[in-house]
Structures are given as C-alpha cells and as structure tokens.
Amino acid sequence: MRRLPAEFEKQSFVQLIFPHGQSDWSPYLEEASRTFVAIASAIARYEPCLIVCDDVARVRSYFTDMTNLIFVQYQSDDTWARDCSGITVYDDTDVEIVDFSFNGWGGKFDASLDDAMTTALAPYYGDRIQPCDLVLEGGAIESNGEGILLTTSACLLNPNRNPHLSQEEIEKEIKNVLGIEKILWLHHGYLSGDDTDSHIDTLARFITSDTIMYVQSLKHNDEHHGELTKMERELEAFRRSDDTPYTLIPLPMCDAIYFEHQRLPATYANFLMIDDAVLVPIYGVPQDSEALEIFRNSFHAREIIAIDCSILIRQNGSLHCVTMQFPKETVININ
C-alpha cells in the first residue's frame, strides 16, 4: 500500500540547495548564504542536513560546526529544493523517491539542471528513484499522512504544467503515484509576488492529520482580503472521513513588504517541521511576535525556532521553499 507521509512525521534528513554566484542570488549572495547557513545549522541540531552545492569547499567554509552536515556537489540552476527535489513515498515496507518533472513553475525560468538533480543524486539516496512525467512541485501539495492531499487548482490545474491532462486525469495520476485517497481543492487564495501560481505551502498547511494552519487576512483594505477570506470559507467547508470539520488555526497576514517596488510574498505558512522543532520564517514586521506565539501554542512538544527570511522573499520564496524533508528510513549513502 502506497502512502505519502506527512511532514510532521519522523524524518531521516532535510535537503537544501546552497546559493551560488550563477543564481539569481548573486546581487546579495553573502546575505542569502548567511540565511541558508542559519537554516542548515538549525536543522542540524535535530537531524542531518544534506547540502547540495556547486563547490563543497566553498560552502563548507561558511560553517564552523560540521555536525550533522553532509555536502554533495552538484551545479544547480537555483535553490528551491522544495520544488525540484524528489518526493518520498512509502510503498508497503519499501521507500520510493518519486522524481516528478520540474519545468520552472510553468516555464517561467530555466530549470533543466534542477529538473535533472534527483537522478544525478540517486546514488547518494540509496533508495529506488521512480521517474514520473507529471509536472509537479513539492510546494504544491500538502499531505496529512492518511491519504488526504491539500492543494490549489490555480497551480495543479494550470495549463502551464500539464496542458494535455484533464483534472480527472491529474487526480488519477497523483492518487496512483502518491497513494492518495482524496484531494481537497482550494480554488481561492494567493499572495502578491508569488510566481508559483499559488503553491499551497504559502497558504495552508497540515500540522496534524486533522489540523490545518492557514493565512488569514483581517484587513479589509489589503489586496488579499477577499481571496483569503474565500479560502477560509473553503477550509471551513472541508470534512474528514467521519464528516467532522478540520481544526483550523489562523496565522496573521504580514504587513506589506516591498523590494524594488514589488510586494513580496511574505507568509508564516512557509514554515518547516523537523524532528522535535519547527522553523518559522520571520520578516522584521510587527506580526512576527504574534505568529511565533501561535506556533508555540500549537506545537507544545517542539521547539520553535525563528529564522529571518527577509532575504529569501526577495526571490519570491521563503523557508519551506528552500528545503525538502526526507522521511524516516530514507538513506543517505556517503562514502
């Protein structure tokens, strides 16, 4: 029986792709690198962190403590590990890493190297890689670990991903490959500046099998208010198998943050759950403290670690976007 584990389950390691000078981070490479170091160091306190990088010697020089850090050399296009990394599925007692196609969020950016990364790194994983022609990014899906998938129609049904497939065909493929029983579709919700076509991990996340954290907009004069309120109503209407509603935990909407006259997609929903901790993005705005308190009240058994992601959102992503967790029993082979 196939099953897509939830992020809140036990993990083997987390994968990052470190910034380099040939990526879009080049104008502020050192600032971005420091943010990635902070993320990797926080992860390494609890579990291994696999860092994919263009130059192992260069990247190792950023770290003083190498505990739980593993470095693998590979030349990437960019650093959005969530979207180009393999997605791990349990298949009875086996572990399978599904290598979906990645086309740069609908052909917006060159992604040939990122698309080839999982196959290139296959010897390090020690587990079977299963290629899949379906275009799918990790940030587009949320699993509750019990056969329920949460996603957005704006992304998964966008003709820039799989134009030859109908919704029914996309659903069938996802269910077969990932072991999903039911897909919950959100038809509303977006963030200004997000170029992923509304990835679910910017909007709403499972933190238990029956609890969803989501971004709430209470400011009527904010451009997101209408869409996020409609999204909230959709979440309230979802039902579990026993016909009870999901427990919903709202997260505040950040004050507007701009860079080069463009509003950035700052969101607290882009957090990362790891073993015994939750890494929460903050942005130097008044809502940071409120969001952190919500996380502390929601994750009593995990440490809450704030990571300043002000630099990451300049490239329209945040903390969850630059990471990919691999669940327990996934192997790293490093000679």
Q: Per the structure block, which two tokens stand in for 151?
A: 């996603």
pLDDT score recorded for residue 311 = 97
Q: What's the chain's average pLDDT?
A: 96
Compute the Cα dihedral for 10, 275, 271, 252 and give only its sign: positive
Residue 165 to residue 100: CA distance in whole angstroms: 15
182/318 Cα distance (integer angstroms): 28
Buried b (16+ CB within 10 A) or exposed e, 189-220: bbbebbebbbbbbbbbbbbeebebbbbbbeee
pLDDT of residue 331: 83
Task: Supply the pLDDT for residue 45.
Answer: 98
pLDDT tens digits for range 37-81: 999 999 999 999 999 999 999 999 999 999 999 999 999 999 999
Domain boundaries, given as residue ranges, for the chain: 2-327
The set of residues, in sequence order, having a beta carbon less than 8 Å from that of 247 and lying 6+ positions away, is 208, 210, 211, 212
DSSP 253: P
**Contact (CB, 8 A) for 152 and 200:** yes
Residue 288 CB partners (closer than 8 Å, separation 6+)? 282, 306
Residue type, 20: H
Give the strand pairing for 277-282 and 272-274.
antiparallel
pLDDT tens track for 135-164:
999 999 999 999 999 999 999 999 999 999
pLDDT value for 217? 95
Adjacency order of strands within the sheet including 128-135: 2-3, 87-91, 94-101, 128-135
How many CB atoms neighbour CB 54 within 10 A? 17
pLDDT band at 127 (very low <50, low <70, confident <90, very high): low
- 335 pLDDT more than 60: no
CB atoms under 10 Å from CB of 88, counted, come to 22
Band of pLDDT at residue 93, cut at 50, 70 and 90:
confident
CATH architecture designation of domain 2-327:
5-stranded Propeller (3.75)
Q: List pLDDT tens digits, range 180-238.
A: 999 999 999 999 999 999 999 999 999 999 999 999 999 999 999 999 999 999 999 99
